[in-house]
Amino acid sequence: MENIDKICESESIIRFPDCDPFNHLNNSKYIDYFINAREDHLTKYYNFNIYQVAKEQGISWVVTKHEIAYFKPALLMEKVVIQSAIRKMGEKDILVEMMMWNKDKSVLKSLLWTNFTHINLMTQKSEKHSDEFINKFKAFEIPLENISFEERVGQLKNKVAVN
């Protein structure tokens, strides 16, 4: 990812209950690690507590789509680096790109694109982001050219160590 000042980052250790018999992180658990990291990133980098906002304002975001690519396995007790960045800030939704790397960020292990849709918790319907929210988060956006997930995977395969 580029624009280093807009990229959130944290470390995590791959734990035993999340691994398969080969000591690889189970495919379904990658999403858990990514979402937990993103939640931490919101607090640390944006000073934004989604639970407090839900309680006080009655709004939140729900996952409406995941697209994930696996390049190299994350291994039992391995320390990984998880990065996240806003790639598209929409009227009602946000596209967040997340990457899992080895400790020194020399090997990309996985890529996740997640769409979050803004909802009103009382009506359970999507609604537009407030101007305040857009002003706060648009500044962190790192737009991608108009490409598909598969094209992004191809870009990364050509750019970083994944094989």
Domains of the chain: 4-159 (3.10.129.10)
Confidence of residue 140 (pLDDT cuts 50, 70, 90): very high
pLDDT at 20: 96
Which residue bears the tokens 């803004």?
118
Over residues 66-91, mean pLDDT: 97
Q: Tell me: pLDDT of 3 over 80.
A: no
Mean pLDDT of 107-112: 97
Give burial (CB, 10 Å; 0-12/13-18/19+) of 61: buried
Q: What was the pLDDT predicted at 47?
A: 93
Would you state the pLDDT for residue 126?
Answer: 97
Which region holds residue 47: left if phi is over 0, alpha if psi is between -120 and 50, else beta? left
Structure tokens at 28: 């379904």
* pTM of this structure: 0.93
Structure tokens, 31: 């999403």
Using CA atoms, how far apart are residues 68 and 57, in angstroms rounded to an integer?
A: 31
CB 23 within 8 A of CB 76: yes
